[in-house]
Amino acid sequence: MTTQAVQVVGLSKRFGAMTALEQIDFEIADGEFVSLLGASGCGKSTLLRIISGFERPSAGRVVIYGEDLTDRLPERRPTNLVFQRGALFPHMSVRENVGYGLRLRGWQRTRINARVDEMLALVRLEELGDRDPTQLSGGQAQRVALARALAAEPRVLLLDEPLSALDLKLRQQMQLELRAIQKRLGATFVFVTHDQTEALVMSDRIAIMNAGRIEQYGTPRDIYRRPGSIFVSDFVGATNLFRGHVTQVSEAGTTLQTDIGSVALDRTEPGLQTGQRIALSVRPEAIRIARGAGSPGGRQVAATIAEIVYQGSSIRLRAVVADGPSIWVECRDDEAEGIAPGDAVNLTWADSAATLLRES
């Protein structure tokens, strides 16, 4: 059995009448990179602050490497936090910032210097040790904050949206760098973000949070391919949701009546009943587009192109079903060669690309 780095058991947090976290249970394995992903106000930062010790839970426990630390002060926890805007000490140089935690531990000056050098090399800032934090760019400041947090060798590193203030290019570069550093150190990282791409790119597992609960916890591929709820399928990546109900369930498959008409699926799912309200989620890039009206029925949907959005490497097309909703399709530019608004097209997708979700 793998060691659990972090175990959160029955955790709830209330601020007055407001419930920020509701019965959270989850585990993070040793050496794992886990993202807490959700919109602002979903409770992800509160959860991180409880793990770091800055907030006390209203109920539940936080166990880190087998030790119950729920009542432990932040300064006595084996966790370190990288703050959203770095939170570097403005009156200390970069080196002093990185070495501060080690100084508190009473390390010898030479030992601190060696460790600071090592950390600055890790984040590739060897040259900037003597600068003041005010002389750093946003990306450099976040690297220093990372070096400072890692210097004390935390058993779990917590990161609270550390890249959110950076521009896109730098953010993408830092995502890969962070991931590489985590791999090299074999450390456990818990990363809070509202950016789904960031979570997909970096994580071993993602916990999708919504309204104080964890909606789904799984690998990026799992989350993207097999979203467990309508919320998850909509929040992670773009998707088409066709709402309706189940008309027939048999060994051979399932038939649905949705807002794009009747749809057949070659599979059934446990507990599915006739009449049940469902939504079918199909990713835009899973939909194939063919010109012409095609044969009616089957697993094709006839639609009319309403809008074409050029995105450079790909294009997005909005197709409208008669009396029905819009369907977004994403494909390579050459796959949609010659298609223009007003054209009648046929949309198809593999059954396996369609996810059946129950309406709650």
Q: Which residues form the interface with other proteins (CB under 8 A)?
A: 52, 54, 73-76, 79-81, 83-85, 87-91, 100-101, 104-105, 145, 148-149, 152
Nearest to other proteins of 135, 352 (CB atom): 135
> How do beta strands 188-193 and 156-160 pair?
parallel
Nearest to other proteins of 87, 331 (CB atom): 87
Strands (E), the chain: 4-15, 18-29, 33-37, 59-64, 67-68, 79-82, 156-160, 188-193, 205-210, 213-218, 240-249, 254-258, 261-265, 277-282, 288-291, 301-310, 314-320, 326-332, 344-348, 354-358
Nearest to other proteins of 135, 173 (CB atom): 135
Q: How far is the CB of 83 from other proteins (least distance, A)?
A: 5
Q: How far is the CB of 155 from other proteins (least distance, A)?
A: 13
Alpha-carbon separation of residue 145 from 75, 139, 153 (angstroms) = 17, 10, 14
Nearest to other proteins of 32, 55 (CB atom): 55
Nearest to other proteins of 75, 323 (CB atom): 75
**End-to-end alpha carbon distance in the chain:** 35
Q: Give the H or E element holding residue 150.
A: helix 138-151
Give me 170's structure tokens. Answer: 């730098």
Distance, CA of 59 to CA of 73 (rounded, Å): 17
SS3 content of the chain, % helix, strand, coil (to 5): 30, 35, 35
Nearest to other proteins of 38, 101 (CB atom): 101
Q: How far is the CB of 183 from other proteins (least distance, A)?
A: 24
Nearest to other proteins of 65, 83 (CB atom): 83
Q: Residue 225, exposed/middle/buried by CB under 10 A (0-12, 13-18, 19+)?
A: middle
Q: Are 241 and 356 in contact (CB under 8 A)?
A: no
Residue 207 burial (CB count, 10 A): 25
Nearest to other proteins of 36, 214 (CB atom): 36
Q: How far is the CB of 255 from other proteins (least distance, A)?
A: 55
Alpha-carbon separation of residue 218 from 179, 207, 232 (angstroms) = 18, 7, 11
Q: How far is the CB of 199 from other proteins (least distance, A)?
A: 23
Q: Are 161 and 194 in contact (CB under 8 A)?
A: yes
Q: How far is the CB of 71 from other proteins (least distance, A)?
A: 15
Q: How far is the CB of 48 from other proteins (least distance, A)?
A: 11
Q: How far is the CB of 60 from other proteins (least distance, A)?
A: 21
